[in-house]
Chain A
Amino acid sequence: MVEQTVTLKNRSGLHARPAALLVQEAGKHPCNLWIRKGDKEVDAKSILGVMSLAVGSGETITVRADGQGEEAALKAVVDLIESGLGEA
């Protein structure tokens, strides 16, 4: 199991469009992936789950991966979040 904390940079937080991009990336990986904000953790492969965290711009979340290819999956998801999820 690996995890990493990352700050959301995209301007409007994890709403539909960025959440869809994130879930799409998460879905490419065979391992389990979760996203945690505060004491709430959700399946990173569920759009409703990810959106329900209502992560705002500048907030910090933790990505957790467990299973086959967990290192690569964690890196891919964290890189995507740091890239701004399609928003400058």
Chain B
Amino acid sequence: MFWNRRKTQVNERAAEPVWLEVLAPFSGRPLPLAEVPDPVFAQKMVGDGAAVDPDSDTLVAPVAGTLTNLFPTGHAAGITTDDGLEILIHIGMDTVALKGEGFTPIARQGERVEAGQPLIRIDLAHLRGVAKSLVTPVVVTNQGRIAALELVAKGPVTSGRDVLFRVQVRPEENGV
């Protein structure tokens, strides 16, 4: 048995798991994805991750990477990490219908961003009045690259400082 265990340990070291920590994009209350009031997100159709019900007015990058998408409407952003994970941050539900009203993009699409860097400013008071929900899911959209995912945040989170969830990255396969 002892021999077996040692062998396992060696194998584990050979394939060191890579965990990516995903920070809270807003300050506020963390929610598991299943509690997001939109089945497309709750059922993980867009990706797997977690959400925050915001009480701050600036969306920050939850991870470092390339800002591959900053939607003209300012209601969503996409970041591709150096490991090739695609992270989508979607502010609120059905907010695409607001056509940019209440959202002010700060960063530029295509630029390199660091975790915690401000991306979009929102008019929180205004949006609370007009949006169906401001719950903001943060999801890894290429789910084939997720080996494991854990919700880390238990209580209220501070944007850019507290870890919302962490994801174990599966190495990219050839041709995928």
Residues of A within 8 A of B (CB): 12-13, 15-17, 19-21, 24, 46-48, 51-52, 54
Inter-chain CA distance A13–B76, complex, in Å, is 14
A19 to chain B, nearest CB (A): 8
Chain A residues, Cβ within 8 Å of B142: 46
* Total count of chain B residues near the partner, CB < 8 A: 20
Inter-chain CA distance A47–B71, complex, in Å, is 13
Inter-chain CA distance A46–B68, complex, in Å, is 12
Inter-chain CA distance A46–B46, complex, in Å, is 10
Question: Which listed residue, B47, B78, B96, touches A15 by the CB 8 Å rule?
Answer: B96
Chain B residues, Cβ within 8 Å of A48: 68-69, 78, 80, 86, 88, 141
Chain A residues, Cβ within 8 Å of B45: 20-21, 24
Residues of B within 8 A of A (CB): 38, 40-41, 45-47, 68-69, 71-72, 76, 78, 80, 86, 88, 90, 96-97, 141-142
Asked if A51 and B86 make an inter-chain contact with CB atoms under 8 angstroms apart, the answer reads: no
Give 20 A-B contacts (CB < 8 Å), ordered by A residue: A12-B96, A15-B71, A15-B96, A16-B46, A16-B76, A16-B88, A17-B38, A17-B40, A19-B46, A20-B45, A46-B141, A46-B142, A47-B46, A47-B47, A47-B86, A47-B88, A48-B69, A48-B78, A48-B86, A51-B76
Chain A residues, Cβ within 8 Å of B68: 48, 52
A58 to chain B, nearest CB (A): 15
